[in-house]
Chains A and B, each alone.
Chain A
Amino acid sequence: DTGVSQDPRHKITKRGQNVTFRCDPISEHNRLYWYRQTLGQGPEFLTYFQNEAQLEKSRLLSDRFSAERPKGSFSTLEIQRTEQGDSAMYLCASSRGTGRPGELFFGEGSRLTVL
């Protein structure tokens, strides 16, 4: 396993700009999750993919957020018209579809700072 990899690790942007984060899951994992974590809080679920299908979205995922997972491999999370409240760590995780699907393996996250 090479682990879940996320890029970029850090992003500083001005309010109103668009940002995109990329996640490469563990190769044999067909489930992929996005979470958001703010300081002093646990990760909060944003959205989930099984292969290329986006099966669940949290109410936290406003219209400014969009996620894709073309071909069921890597995933991108785009935030349009960023706001200061979007500043957080965006975590990606992956898991197997069978066996132990609940065991999520997290990447190191992409930290977003909106000025």
Chain B
Amino acid sequence: QQQVKQSPQSLIVQKGGIPIINCAYENTAFDYFPWYQQFPGKGPALLIAIRPDVSEKKEGRFTISFNKSAKQFSLHIMDSQPGDSATYFCAASHEKEAGTALIFGKGTTLSVSS
């Protein structure tokens, strides 16, 4: 049972474009929704995260939009750069419950062309 569904699988944008990656979750107990960025040969690195008490969070060029009623959240990358080319994973967990691990989506491979 896949609890976090991510789309699209891959994405190609031109430099300066705004790629959008979407995730949907099933478990209404989830209360923590991070995005991770992974470069080839490296471990995932936390990019930005949101909790359900807000509908949007911005950090630099990265924005998460969160829709609790639809059980969906998305990542927007403003003014994308070639250095943003990486695989992006959404994830979810029930943070307040000790021991609940992050459940990851299958990832989106982003290519930003110059």
A residues at B contact (CB < 8 Å)? 4, 33, 40-45, 48, 50, 55-56, 91, 93, 100-109
Contacts and interface: CB of A to CB of B under 8 A. Distances in A.
- Size range of the chain B interface in the assembly: 20 to 34
A43 B89 contact: yes
Contacts of A102: 32, 34, 49, 93, 95, 102
Interface of B: 6, 32, 34, 36, 41-46, 49, 89, 91, 93, 95, 98-107
A102 B91 CA distance: 10
Q: Is the interface of A mostly helix, strand, loop or mixed?
A: loop
A105 B105 contact: no
24 contacts: A4-B43, A33-B101, A40-B107, A42-B6, A42-B106, A42-B107, A43-B89, A45-B101, A45-B102, A48-B99, A50-B99, A56-B99, A56-B100, A91-B43, A93-B43, A100-B95, A102-B93, A103-B46, A105-B46, A106-B36, A106-B43, A107-B43, A108-B41, A109-B42
A72 to B, nearest CB: 15
Contacts of A56: 99-101
Nearest to A89: B43
Contact of B45 (A44, A101, A106, A109): A106
A30 B107 CA distance: 28
A50 B99 CA distance: 8
B43 A108 contact: yes
A107 B45 CA distance: 9
Contacts of B104: 42-44
